[in-house]
Amino acid sequence: MPFAIVEASEENDGKELFVVPEGWLLDTEQTNTILLWPKCDGPKLYKLLTDGESVANTKWMKMDCIVKEINIPNLSVAHDHVLKMNGEFVETQNTTELSATPIPLTVDCSNVQNEDDTSKKEARPVQKVPMTCDIDFKQIDCLESLENLNDKLLETAYQDKIYEWLNGQITEVKSENRMTEAIDLLFTKRFMTKCSWTGVGRGSEKIAMMRMVNISKLFRRIGTNESTIVNQRMVMMFFMKKLRNAVRRSEMKHLRKSTSHNVPSHKVKAESQ
């Protein structure tokens, strides 16, 4: 079953483009239809979203949507189409994504057949290594600073330096919690309210975080640990969730650290000898 691109409204009335299995739409013949959305999140939602054979349950949440495109053969093509809808150059996006992301692990990533398949091996506790990294970094609070950071992350030496600095500050072990800490270290909460993943906002254009491919690669590296290899779609889902709640997070005076609980991880499987 193919995939579809739809525009749907969030709880805060903001609009977002989604790539979903066609089986989640009540009627693919109509432009305005109903999108059925599963009552789950995390890895379970990710598994459903990436399964082209997934069919919606009538007990799922219902939301109005506008069908932008249907009959898309696979996820890769669908995400390229989303980039085009937002005026992005797909060749640049794809070229950047082919660059290998340095991962601070002893895991041989050639054992992973593709970024959608996360293989399993026995998880071991991550040992935090105290490190000192001097870096003059000011929290991102405007588009110019965001683009500047994204450009500088093209340099391997600078990316390593930022990674070491973040890793020295982050106290969490779980992938999503590590990326949440990284967001709070890198960006002001006020700036996050100006962003969305695709650049679509309620009544106005927002800053499209999906354009910042080098920042996305940094978050893949930050989220990756000895039991989880974070891929680009996992980063996409993480940012979509965080940016959707950015206004609420910015209004909280004493923000409690976000953590995930009892979420099964996508683990790495060692290649059989």
How high is the pLDDT of residue 220? Answer: 93
Please check whether residue 222 lies inside any domain of the structure. Answer: yes
Please name the residue that has the structure tokens 């739809």.
6
Are 66 and 157 part of one and the same domain? no
Residue 149 shares a structural domain with residue 240 = yes
Expressed as residue numbers, the domain containing 224 is 143-251
pLDDT band at 87 (very low <50, low <70, confident <90, very high): low
| DSSP codes of every residue in 80-145 | HHHHHHTT--HHHHHHHHHSPPP-SSS--GGG-S-TT---B-------------------B-SHHH
Residue 185 maps to a domain:
yes
Looking at residue 10, its pLDDT comes to 60
Q: Does residue 120 lie within any of the structural domains?
A: no
Number of domains composing the chain: 2
Q: Both 156 and 247 in a single domain?
A: yes
User: Per the domain annotation, does 236 fall within a domain?
Assistant: yes
Question: Among residues 66, 86, 106, which one ends one of the domains?
Answer: 86
What average pLDDT does the segment 105-119 reach? 42
Residues 81 and 157 in one domain: no
Model pTM score: 0.50
How far is the C-alpha of 214 from the C-alpha of 38, rounded, in Å? Answer: 31
Contact 2, 10 (CB under 8 A): no
Of 17, 52, 86, the one marking the end of a domain is 86
Any domain includes 202: yes
Mean pLDDT is lowest, of 93-107, 154-168, 184-198, for: 93-107
Q: Are residues 79 and 166 both part of a single domain?
A: no
